[in-house]
């Protein structure tokens, strides 16, 4: 039973009692029933409004999903392109001037790296380099 049905039931009971409106008790009970009646109507109105609001929210939510899909599809493509530029590189220390020397894979094919600081040629045994790989600290002094 909803609230309005319960109030209607109470009103029926009150009528069955044939409340005397000239007595204080009768006036009070009838006034209470009136208030309950008003409250039941208000609740029904509020429920209707909530249903409307929910419909409105659903519509907004659907629209937002469309916008999100559109945005993420676009930005995903851009991210992938950025990550493809991420070449592997190596860091070592020049034995002459002790500066850090950064070079990438392509230099390894020549087997030597020229120190950009002092110009010394750094020659490597490729097996030694295994220890220096995987360093991705950025140090661009
Ligand atoms: Zn050097």
- 5-48 pLDDT, tens digit each: 999 999 899 888 888 888 998 899 999 999 999 999 999 999 99
Cα 93 to middle of ligand 1, angstroms = 8
Distance CA 78, CA 140 (A): 25
- pLDDT at res. 125: 61
Distances (CA, A) of 64 to 50, 59, 77, 137: 21, 9, 20, 39
Element containing residue 19 per DSSP (H, E): none
List, as ranges, residues with CB under 5 A of the ion ligand 1.
94, 96-97, 115, 117-118, 120
- 90-128 pLDDT, tens digit each: 888 888 898 888 888 777 777 778 888 898 887 766 555
Q: Please name which of 103, 125, 98 lies closest in space to residue 113, comparing C-alpha atoms.
A: 103
Q: Are β-strands 100-104 and 89-93 bridged in parallel, bridged antiparallel, or unpaired?
A: antiparallel
Total residues found in the chain within this entry: 141
Cα 100 to middle of ligand 1, angstroms = 8
Distance CA 116, CA 123 (A): 14
- pLDDT at res. 140: 58
Distance CA 79, CA 88 (A): 18
Distance CA 37, CA 8 (A): 8
């Amino acid at each position: 039973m909803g609230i309005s049905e319960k109030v209607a039931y109470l009103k029926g009971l009150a009528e069955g009692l044939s409340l005397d409106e000239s007595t204080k008790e009768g006036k009070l009970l009838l006034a209470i029933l009136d208030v309950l009646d008003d409250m039941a109507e208000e609740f029904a109105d509020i429920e209707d409004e909530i249903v409307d609001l929910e419909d409105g929210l659903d519509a907004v939510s659907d629209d937002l999903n469309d916008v999100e899909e559109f945005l993420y599809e676009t930005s995903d493509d851009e991210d992938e392109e950025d990550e493809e530029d991420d070449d592997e590189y190596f860091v070592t220390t020049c034995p002459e001037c002790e500066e850090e020397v950064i070079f990438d894979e392509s230099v390894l094919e020549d087997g030597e790296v020229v120190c950009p600081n002092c110009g010394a040629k750094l020659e490597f045994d490729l097996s030694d380099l295994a220890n220096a790989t995987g360093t991705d600290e950025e140090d661009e002094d």
